[in-house]
Amino acid sequence: MTIENMLQSFPVFLLIFCRITSFFVVIPVFSSRTVPVQFKIGLSLFVALIVFSSGGTEIAVPQDFTYILLILREVLIGLLLGFVGFLMFITIQTAGSLIDIQIGFAIANVIDPVTGSSAPIFGNFKYMIALTMFIIMNGHHYLLNAIVNSYEWVPLNNNLFIKMIDGSLSEFLVHSFAQSFMLALQMSAPLVTALFLTDVGLAFLARTAPQYNVFVIGIPLKIIVGLSLFLLLMPSMALLFQNLFDIMFESMQNLLGLVGKSP
């Protein structure tokens, strides 16, 4: 490859690098604050070189003011694709927040090492379990496969801005958010229902035996009931998280099909 060809291909490589880098900024596992920035940049560069060498050398892009719009478009595609995956992981913390409100742990949040913000105790614990299972199931390999194959679904000459104008992309994001919240309600439903029935039982106890202080009895009782049910439901979490991961990859595929087209 001559120097002239390298200068013509370098803008294409930068577009590929922008999409992959923005994807790794948002997507779980790779976006963790515990992952060094040098590793993220190096991995993005390595993956971009693979994608560029597989078919980027034959693509030509305009090298004028419209190139800035191309960069913004590629960054938005990477962020959207990573956001859909991140949204499904946030579902786990949302379910944990609903459980913490019922069990009484909401007043004792912990620092989430992934986002650096405060997170519920149950939500953070379930998030760590899900992240560990995701890595054991080689989910991070599927994420790399998703960003690499995204160029077959959504090439560099895509119509993202048109999809944003006609409202189909916004409708998809709203539907994904509603789906994630519904999944959070379904995940927390067993524990929340059991703790609600515990509150009902304490209310009957307060009416039938006023000498008992339900505020003193209720707090440890709800903790015991919540932790006991959580231990009973622990074996079923593998299937639950696997279904959640399937929904996540299906949502990412639907996003690629919406923005681009099936190869």
| Greatest extent of the chain over all pairs of C-alpha atoms, in Å | 90
pLDDT at 56: 64
What is the reported pLDDT for 5? 60
Instruction: Delimit the domains of the chain by residue range.
Output: 3-259
Predicted pLDDT at 224? 87
Regions of the chain where pLDDT drops below 50: none
Residue 119: what pLDDT?
A: 63
- Output the pLDDT for position 263: 64
Q: Spell out the SS3 assignment of the chain.
A: CCHHHHHHHHHHHHHHHHHHHHHHHHCCCCCCCCCCHHHHHHHHHHHHHHHHHHHHHHCCCCCCCHHHHHHHHHHHHHHHHHHHHHHHHHHHHHHHHHHHHHHCCCCCCEECCCCCCEECHHHHHHHHHHHHHHHHCCHHHHHHHHHHHHHHHCCCCCCHHHHHHHCHHHHHHHHHHHHHHHHHHHHHHHHHHHHHHHHHHHHHHHHHCCCCCHHHHHHHHHHHHHHHHHHHHHHHHHHHHHHHHHHHHHHHHHHHHHHCCCC
> Nearest Cα to 22, choosing from 90, 74, 66?
74
CA-wise closest residue to 91 among 241, 253, 222: 241
Q: Determine the pLDDT at residue 115.
A: 55
